[in-house]
C-alpha cells in the first residue's frame, strides 16, 4: 500500500469496513477474484466470516466497492494534478503521472480495478464502472483535442493516441512492482515523453 487510505462513505468511514476493503484488495490483486474466498478475507482481517456481512452483502459487493473507490481516486488525482497547467503536453504528462501515483500509492486497489472490472456482474455497478472508465479516457482525449486546437499537436487520431497512453499505463499493472528500479511516475513520464513526440507537428509541413 502507500499513503492513500480509502474512505468508505457507505460505512461512515468505519475503520473495520476500510480494513476489510484493504485486505480484500491485496487478496484480489494476488489471487484474483475467483481465487479469493470470504474465508480468506476474514482470515486476513483477523475476524470471523460472519462479521464481514455486517458491512458487505457478499464478495461481489466488496469487489465492486474496491473498483469504484480506485476509479474515483484515479479521476480525482488526474483532475488535481492538471490544475494550473496550460500546455497540453504538460497536461498529458500530469494525467499519466497521476495515474502512476495511484498505482504506487495503492497497488492492490489499482490492480483489482485495472484487471478485475470484467468480474463485475451486477448490472448497475457494471454500468457505473463503465461510465467512470469512459469518463477517464474521455478526459485524456479532451486534453489531446485541446492540444490539436491550440496547434501544439498535429491533427491525429485522438482515440488511438489516448488509448496508446492508457495502454502503457494499464499494462504497468501486469509488470510494475514497487521494489523495481524506477518509480511508477518516472516510467509514466518517460512513456508520455516518448509517445508525445509522435503528437508534435512535423516541422517540414
Q: Provide the binding-site residues for its own copies, judged by CB under 8 A.
A: 32, 34-35, 156-157, 160-161, 163-164, 166-168, 170-172, 174, 187, 190-191, 194-198, 200, 203-204
Task: Name which of 49 and 163 has its Cβ closer to its own copies.
Answer: 163
**What's the min distance (Å) between Cβ of 143 and its own copies?**
16
Task: Name which of 57 and 204 has its Cβ closer to its own copies.
Answer: 204
**What's the min distance (Å) between Cβ of 179 and its own copies?**
17
* Burial track 38-47 (b if 16+ CB lie within 10 A, e otherwise): bebbbebbeb
**What's the min distance (Å) between Cβ of 15 and its own copies?**
31
Task: Name which of 17 and 158 has its Cβ closer to its own copies.
Answer: 158
Task: Name which of 74 and 166 has its Cβ closer to its own copies.
Answer: 166
Amino acid at each position: 500500500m502507500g499513503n492513500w487510505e480509502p474512505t468508505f462513505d457507505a460505512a461512515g468511514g468505519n475503520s473495520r469496513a476500510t480494513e476489510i476493503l484493504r485486505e480484500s484488495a491485496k487478496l484480489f490483486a494476488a489471487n484474483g477474484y475467483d481465487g479469493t474466498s470470504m474465508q480468506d478475507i476474514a482470515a486476513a482481517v483477523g475476524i470471523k466470516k460472519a462479521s464481514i456481512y455486517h458491512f458487505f452483502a457478499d464478495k461481489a459487493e466488496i469487489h465492486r466497492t474496491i473498483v469504484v473507490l480506485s476509479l474515483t481516486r484515479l479521476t480525482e488525482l488526474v483532475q488535481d494534478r492538471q490544475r494550473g497547467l496550460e500546455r497540453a503536453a504538460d497536461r498529458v504528462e500530469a494525467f499519466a503521472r497521476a495515474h502512476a501515483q495511484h498505482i504506487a500509492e495503492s497497488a492492490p486497489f489499482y490492480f483489482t480495478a485495472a484487471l478485475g472490472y470484467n468480474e463485475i456482474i451486477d448490472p448497475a455497478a457494471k454500468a457505473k464502472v463503465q461510465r467512470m472508465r469512459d469518463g477517464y479516457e474521455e478526459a485524456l482525449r479532451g486534453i489531446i483535442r485541446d492540444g490539436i486546437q491550440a496547434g501544439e499537436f498535429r491533427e491525429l487520431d485522438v482515440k488511438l493516441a489516448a488509448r496508446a497512453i492508457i495502454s502503457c499505463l494499464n499494462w504497468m499493472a501486469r509488470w510494475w512492482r514497487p521494489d523495481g528500479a524506477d518509480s511508477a511516475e518516472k516510467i509514466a513520464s518517460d512513456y508520455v515523453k516518448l509517445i508525445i513526440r509522435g503528437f508534435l507537428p512535423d516541422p517540414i509541413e
